[in-house]
Structure 1
């Protein structure tokens, strides 16, 4: 298994959703430690001997916190953690992500994890989500770029935030 795939599609969804005991990794802590955590996970993955490939450092990963305000009241409505991964378009990056988004409430509650996945067959990008049980949902094509991605995610989330 590709180590980046493991990080983007298995590890991160498993830590951002509350477990059976209600524990979860705080989205705020994830944002502050995203680079070191990601590099550490991939180093541990490489040590299992499952995959040979490029090694990554914490500088290869970045995260940006965004405050989303209610368009009518101007009050904070939710937060988004936008995560950046090492990425290049190409057949060997099929289903990998240039970015993922974690949308959550003002206290870190009710998370939703979205990925922007490269589809090598169409040479385009798909907006997807992963839930706490590891289930994947594909919402279809999305224009590549932070603004169109976030707009589509917030349109989906608007129904949930009302």
Structure 2
């Protein structure tokens, strides 16, 4: 298995959703240490004989926090951690992510993990999500544009939370 696929599609979703004992990692901590955290996971895979020869550095993985405010009151509504992965368009990147988004409440609660996955056969991108049980949902094609991605994710979140529910 491609180590980046494991990181993007299995490892990160498994740690962002709360387990029986509660959250495994705070979204805020993940954002602050994203580059070193990803490199550490990939190095551990390589040591276990699971990784391929690719070597990544902390600067290959970046994350930025985005505060989403209520459109009517201006009060903070939720946060989004936008994560960037090493990526280029090509057959070798099929199903890999250019970005992932972690949407969560003001205290890190109720996370939702979204991915922007490359479809090499169609030469375009798909917006997908994984839930706490690992279920993969494909929302269809999306422009490779951070603003378009975030707009679509926030629409999905609004629908998921119910129109009157505050995040």
Report if TM-score (shorter chain) is over 0.5. yes
Report Cα offsets for 1:99-135 as digits up to 9, x if no partner.
Answer: 0000000000000000000000100000000111111
| Aligned counterpart, 1:149 | 149
Runs (5+) with no aligned partner, structure 2: none
Equivalent positions of 1:37-116 (< 5 A) are 37-116=37-116
**Residues 113 and 130 in structure 2, CA contact (< 8 A), matched pair in contact too:** yes
Aligned residue for 1:98, secondary structure, equals: strand
Number of matched residues? Answer: 162
Report Cα offsets for 1:23-48 as digits up to 9, x if no partner.
Answer: 32100000000000000000111111
**Distance between the aligned counterparts of 2:50 and 2:100, measured in 1?**
24
- TM-score under structure 2 normalisation? 0.94
**Residues 16 and 23 in structure 2, CA contact (< 8 A), matched pair in contact too:** no
Flag as ranges the 4+ runs of structure 1 deviating above 6 A.
none
CA RMSD of aligned residues (A): 0.9
- TM-score under structure 1 normalisation? 0.97
| Aligned counterpart, 1:31 | 31
| Aligned counterpart, 2:5 | 5
Runs (5+) with no aligned partner, structure 1: none
Report Cα offsets for 1:69-111 as digits up to 9, x if no partner.
Answer: 0001100000000000000101110000010000000000000
| Aligned counterpart, 1:125 | 125
